Structure 1
Amino acid sequence: MCHHYVGQKAGNPMYGDAFSIRSNLRQIGLGIVPDGGFYPLKPVPVIRLGEDGERGLDVCEWGLLPFWWKPSDKQPKRAAFQRQCFNARSETADTKPTYREAFKRRRCLLPAVKFEEKKHYFSFAGERPFAFAGLWETWRGDDGEVFSCTLLTTEPNEEIRSVGHHRMPVILQSEAEYERWLDPEIVERGPLEDLMRTLADGSLEVEPIGKLF
């Protein structure tokens, strides 16, 4: 499960230039997004469509909380639920109750430059920016309105297998892929199936984290 990835500062031109962002949604101060790395249950930058149909940059808690979740004696705090939902299997995201409505209507991009698995960082040459295929959701409760997200995972390619991991994030790399993933007219799995494929072997550079610092 992907539990740590790295992007660039929210104000960096990468976000607008690489992902054709038009605005900051909800007028959130993106300074709350940490520099250097993102972790579950923390705020992460998300690219999604606004009500005008244009791409905007938002901030969501990493760990999806579906609109129907309610606290119970067994699980009184939402963080316990979200902790189980920072990754979603792409093979079942369109049918699982936790994710299926978001899969149809609330897909998003999580911009990144590298991610961690098993004490190794994985990136494209030159740390070229890319996006994880994600889903976002809104929940309302005693905590007010909570925007949350998850990223999809798939079978690993050779680089991920080489460090002993059995899953990898679904990675999107081009404007055409971003556009199709965010297309609000697509509500079924079929037109998105090939986007959730395993990345080709040899696509990623691998570096042990200990050698980076």
Structure 2
Amino acid sequence: MCGRYTLLADEVDILREFDLEEPIDSYQPSFNVAPGQNVFAIIHDGNEKRAGYLRWGLVPSWAKDEKIGYKMINARSETAHEKPSFKKLLSRKRCLIVADSFYEWKRDGKEKQPKRIQLAGRKLFAFAGLWDKWQQEDQNLFTCTILTKDANEYMQDIHHRMPIILPKDKEEEWIASRERDASKWHHFLETLEADAFTSYNVDTYVNAAKNNDAGCIAPLTD
């Protein structure tokens, strides 16, 4: 799964990496992005890319209560093309969720050791995400979820699931393609080649979402 991540890059680096022209409104780096927070994401409106903020935790358009979002921070890619909550979104509402590392907790007996995980070959990357718009009376809510899959060989030692990180040359296709067949997107996700990871232990300080400073990413020393 993916329950926390970071986005610490300078705004100019994000704009350059994702070929964005407009400044990011109220951009603030974060050492500890958590569910329920607004996250920086990129969609395609059919004509051009649009960047902005979505709340992390999907609230489907048909939901009666927005609290469902706290149960839908991740979506299993293996079944997303079959589930009513995700099938239509996989066809029409795909997004990039921008990050530069994520956290995972490795179980060690009764304890869980948090680790910061980065890509070995590039600093910034994008999770494969889905988004939706929820409306109730005069309230409009735009939310998202991160797609996950079984852990690769590297991640298996840490956790049995991992977020899907798009290869750089697949990002544009993910958001801009007009392909509507959800089963083809399932195949697309299944055949992605994962980048190499690197990781190190961090303090349990990161466990609390209220903690959002350099202490979250400081390497744990013996």
- SS for the counterpart of 1:98 is helix
1:212 aligns with 2:219: yes
Give me the whole-angstrom Cα distance separating, in 2, the residues matched to 1:35 and 1:198.
28
Q: Is the 8 A contact 1:22 1:56 kept in 2?
A: no
Aligned-pair CA distance for 1:191:
5.3
Give me the whole-angstrom Cα distance separating, in 2, the residues matched to 1:196 and 1:113.
22
Q: Is the 8 A contact 2:8 2:29 kept in 1?
A: no
Name whichever of 12-21 and 188-197 sits farther off. 188-197
Aligned-pair CA distance for 1:23:
3.5
Instruction: Give the share of equivalent positions with the same residue, in percent.
Output: 31
**Aligned residue type for 1:30:** S
- SS for the counterpart of 2:148 is strand
| Paired position in structure 1 for 2:139 | 144
| Paired position in structure 1 for 2:37 | 42
Q: Is the 8 A contact 2:129 2:144 kept in 1?
A: yes
| Paired position in structure 1 for 2:95 | 108
Name whichever of 124-133 and 59-68 sits farther off. 124-133
Q: Is the 8 A contact 1:41 1:62 kept in 2?
A: yes
- SS for the counterpart of 2:71 is coil
Aligned-pair CA distance for 1:21:
2.0
1:15 aligns with 2:10: no
Give me the whole-angstrom Cα distance separating, in 2, the residues matched to 1:159 and 1:98.
30
1:193 aligns with 2:187: yes
Q: How does 1:1-213 map to 2 (within 5 A)?
A: 1-8=1-8, 12-23=11-22, 29-31=25-27, 35-50=30-45, 53-71=47-65, 78-79=66-67, 81-118=68-105, 119-125=114-120, 128-142=123-137, 144-163=139-158, 165-174=159-168, 176-188=169-181, 189-190=183-184, 193-197=187-191, 200=194, 203-210=196-203, 212=219
Query: Which structure 2 segments of 5+ residues have no match?
Result: 106-113, 204-217
Give me the whole-angstrom Cα distance separating, in 1, the residues matched to 2:186 and 2:172.
11
Aligned pair in 2 of structure 1 residues 34, 128: CA closer, same or farther (>3 Å)? closer
**Aligned residue type for 1:186:** E
Aligned-pair CA distance for 1:158:
2.1
Query: Which structure 1 segments of 5+ residues have no match?
Result: 72-77
**Aligned residue type for 2:34:** Y
Which one has the bigger strand percentage?
A: 2
- SS for the counterpart of 2:31 is coil
Instruction: Count matched residues.
Output: 197
| Paired position in structure 1 for 2:211 | none
Q: Is the 8 A contact 2:77 2:186 kept in 1?
A: no
Deviations 1:150-184 (A, max 9, x none): 01000101222112x1100011131x201111124
Deviations 1:117-157 (A, max 9, x none): 10111101376111100001000114610000001000101
Deviations 1:81-114 (A, max 9, x none): 1111100000111221111111110100011110
Give me the whole-angstrom Cα distance separating, in 2, the residues matched to 1:199 and 1:209.
27
Aligned pair in 2 of structure 1 residues 143, 153: CA closer, same or farther (>3 Å)? farther
Q: Is the 8 A contact 1:171 1:199 kept in 2?
A: no
**Aligned residue type for 1:178:** E
